[in-house]
Amino acid sequence: MDSTLISTRPDEGTLSLSRARRAALGSFAGAVVDWYDFLLYGITAALVFNREFFPQVSPAMGTLAAFATFGVGFLFRPLGGVIFGHFGDRLGRKRMLMLTVWMMGIATALIGILPSFSTIGWWAPILLVTLRAIQGFAVGGEWGGAALLSVESAPKNKKAFYSSGVQVGYGVGLLLSTGLVSLISMMTTDEQFLSWGWRIPFLFSIVLVLGALWVRNGMEESAEFEQQQHYQAAAKKRIPVLS
């Protein structure tokens, strides 16, 4: 039998430690950005979105409507996980993880410049829900892809440690989003915060996205994924052509 057709797992003891560290750092950085953006929406929903995007209903109903749009993100998370997982297996984890950060960052920045209901009417909540769906779709692909790349790249006896950055990024993203909103709300009046102050944390996402993309650009595909791609390519070459 041709040796190229023998399925062999890469020796995990020889996996590059620098590759593992870059994968762990890239997964952490992306998780911070995605969860900062994803949770920032929930923090702002009750403070701003009920007034700026649903003023035509009572305050109580406006708050419920704002939180309903927050829930849209959770509905799209499974879809993002399935689709990004599928293409991650075919095209590579790194490619998909770069895309999730781009999608999340663009959606969040657009929320930061989105006109309110008083300016464009019903298009405001419609666009808000659409951008929230994109956020959910992106974070769904981020979670599984980042964890998988970290696990595949990590040394055999440190897989849990190197993949923990995905969960740690959740906490850091939450602290950043709540901290920045609190800081801006203390530095502005209620009118200023409702007018433009709430938009600053959403636009600040651009800075975080650029930083995460820079870190992730230094990542490599895992040796396990590269071995799988090599095996599949070799297997295709060995399939006889039917006449």
- The enclosing domain of 178 has a CATH number of 1.20.1250.20
What lies within 8 Å, CB to CB, of 112 at 6+ separation is 199, 200, 201, 202, 203, 205
Sign of the torsion formed by the C-alpha atoms of 57, 58, 61 and 67: positive
pTM of the full predicted structure?
0.83
Q: Is residue 235 part of a domain?
A: no
Tokens of 111: 């929320």
Give the DSSP H/E element, type plus range, for residue 89.
helix 59-91
Say how far apart CA 132 and CA 152 lie, in whole Å: 31
Q: Is residue 221 part of a domain?
A: yes
Tens of pLDDT along 129-186? 999 999 999 999 988 888 888 888 888 888 889 889 888 999 999 999 999 999 999 9
Q: Is residue 200 part of a domain?
A: yes
Say how far apart CA 72 and CA 165 lie, in whole Å: 26
What lies within 8 Å, CB to CB, of 6 at 6+ separation is none
Q: Is residue 133 part of a domain?
A: yes
Sign of the torsion formed by the C-alpha atoms of 102, 103, 105 and 111: positive
Residue 12 has pLDDT above 50, yes or no: no
Would you say 77 and 136 are in contact if contact means Cβ atoms under 8 Å apart? yes
Say how far apart CA 161 and CA 154 lie, in whole Å: 9
What lies within 8 Å, CB to CB, of 207 at 6+ separation is none
Q: Is residue 233 part of a domain?
A: no
Number of domains present in the structure of the chain: 1
Would you say 36 and 177 are in contact if contact means Cβ atoms under 8 Å apart? yes
Tokens of 208: 């975080």
Q: Is residue 6 part of a domain?
A: no
Q: Among residues 174, 179, 110, 97, which one has the least CA distance to residue 139?
A: 97
Q: Is residue 88 part of a domain?
A: yes
Q: Is residue 237 part of a domain?
A: no
pLDDT at 209: 94
pLDDT at 238: 61
Say how far apart CA 220 and CA 122 lie, in whole Å: 44
Backbone angle region of 193, left / alpha / beta, with phi > 0 → left and psi within -120 to 50 → alpha: alpha
pLDDT averaged over the chain?
86
Say how far apart CA 25 and CA 23 lie, in whole Å: 6
Quote the percentage of the chain above a pLDDT of 90.
Answer: 53
CB neighbourhood size of 69 (10 A) = 21
The domain of 60 spans 16-226
Tokens of 97: 């993880």
Per-residue confidence band for 41, with pLDDT thresholds at 50, 70 and 90: very high
Backbone angle region of 10, left / alpha / beta, with phi > 0 → left and psi within -120 to 50 → alpha: beta
